[in-house]
Structure 1
Amino acid sequence: MQRIAFLTLLFLSFALAARAETFTDAAGRTVELPARVERIMAAGPPASVLLYVLAPQKLAGWVHAPSSAEGKLLLPDASKLPELGRLTGKGNAIRADIVTKAKLDLIIDVGDVSEEYAALASRSQNETGVPYILLDGSLAKTPEVFETLGKVVGEPERGTELARYARMTLDKVNAGLAKIPADHRPRVYYGRGADGMQTGLARSINLELLDALGAVNVAAEKGQGGLTKVTPEEVAKWNPDIIIASDPKFAAMARSNPAWSGINAVKGGRVFVQPALPFGWFDGPPGVNRLMGIIWLEQLLYPDVFPTDLRKEAKAFYKAFYQVDLSDAQFDRLLQDKP
């Protein structure tokens, strides 16, 4: 009888330990999580980066498969994961076939938290039966997201380690900005794509890095929102002190366009291209990869306040976040901006 009682207690304790946990996500949704989370799908590119950095062994696949150049700066096994595509298809329909085929334990999305995304998460969860959580992708929430998701996916120590680095990076830039008067902060234009005529409005998550660095987004005068199209005439009128390009072709055009020769950024030789491997430092996607962008831009915008050994910092970041050793040659190629 004692042996039976012991086995009964042992079973009950195991059952309690394996019981699903309740999780409240950034949208306030209550989600039942499985006791073990082994295969996770990212609903968008920022979530792909977050999962790769935190728990690459649990990433079921990529929204977009890495290119050959991107794969060289990722762990070999992770770079070979399949492309799952986006969770939603035409008309925002849930692609349940992807979820079924991937045999998922969890779906996560990270970025803007809105009623629209919350509704999509709930609909996906109802249609597929796979728990779906939303996380706040704002830069300020990065340490909290690392800590929270680290616990969810069974990597609390790594989550704490990454959160500590993120918090240190954000605290450092905030302390430095406190020394810089408002009228000493640059006006910046960020151009996306080969023609550079797509940018972000005020409060766009794609240009959040400018806010974090105290810079002025010249396109903010067009109002609040997400991404928008602008004209070359508007950029010339705004006369930014600095131009940041996501594509080297746009940077080359900006430097050689006679109509832009009078723009402060062009006259001063301050047209820069964001390094973009394996993920963008400024954007592309607007995820935790932007922490490297803070380190890059703080010394670019305010070299007197942030004297930084960028090579040393990049090597440390790539080792801690992407788990690869960045060589000197690879670093040099990252900083090249030729089309």
Structure 2
Amino acid sequence: MALLLTVLPAASHEIRPTIADVEVGAERVTLRLIVTLESLIAGIDLAEIDNTNTAPEAAIYDRLRTLGPERLEAALRDAWPRIQRGFLIEVEGELVTPDIVSVEIPAVGNLDLPRDSILTVGAELPPGDAGVRVGLAPQFGTFIPRQVGGGEDAYEGFLGVGEMTPELPRAAVLTETAGAVFLRYIGAGVEHIVPLGLDHILFVLGLFFFATQLGPLLWQVTAFTVAHTITLALAATGVVTVPASIVEPLIAATIVFVGIENTLGFGTIKGRTALVFVFGLLHGLGFASVLGDYGIASGRFLYALVGFNIGVEIGQLMVILIAFSLVGWFMSRAWYRKAIAIPVSLIIASIGAYWVVERTIL
């Protein structure tokens, strides 16, 4: 448990993808990026951490968060010779060097939340009609590029650490099918559970260790699925808006509750199923905050929403199957509850309690 506590994510300093509108012309490429400049200036390796609090440069990052727009832009320009090497623009295997076109930095706001700035960079392209590949260096984290100028069918990628786009043509716009978008967001949904969604993994494990038979467990998972599908759709479309500062501690509290209920054994299957439905509504709001970070184009939103939700379900089933393969064989044994279910549930509740405090106070 001590090891787990060292890697728990802090919601207020989470790492979010960099989103870019990419415009490829005959002679020049321009990237308009929504990015957290403080992490780039501080030199944080976003591929190695889950939140900025765990970075060696955390103190530098926190100091930069207090700077006004003019001072932060000055710090960006001072660090630009180092930072510009992280923006990868490739033509026929050769990299071209970008320069700053403009910077838009909001005023200092809530220091517990990341500050999204808009950084526009551009680079001159070599003569010819060869296409352009763009990406970010691994230390800059995940990347969501969108080629502009092609309407709703224009290419929009979700790139992992160090990945680059396919060739984006100069004379046309790369397009992709709705099916490709759907499949990509299935993968994103799975990844949000396994391995990134530790809080959702613990909640699902809490459901697993309450059950002594697979039938009731499947009913609870179904209730959870229906509930978070509802709020994921409502929140992702903007119908319902709840701040992460409220949602994240409540999600942690649901983990505490299921762990304690497992330990004390005061719940019933019907009561637990109804409660899981209510808790699923909260978890759906958490899923929606992640989906919103991807900056999905409006014409692709339905495909992305459905694909992401299916991916989440696949991830949850993976967690249950792994747990069952390890200890499910012993569910019917008299010693299972005391020797396995209760100790693990206590660990789950303890981690959830830590998260409640961290996400509320720290």
Normalising by structure 2, what TM-score? Answer: 0.29
Higher relative contact order (CA closer than 8 Å, sequence separation 6+): 2
More helix by share: 2
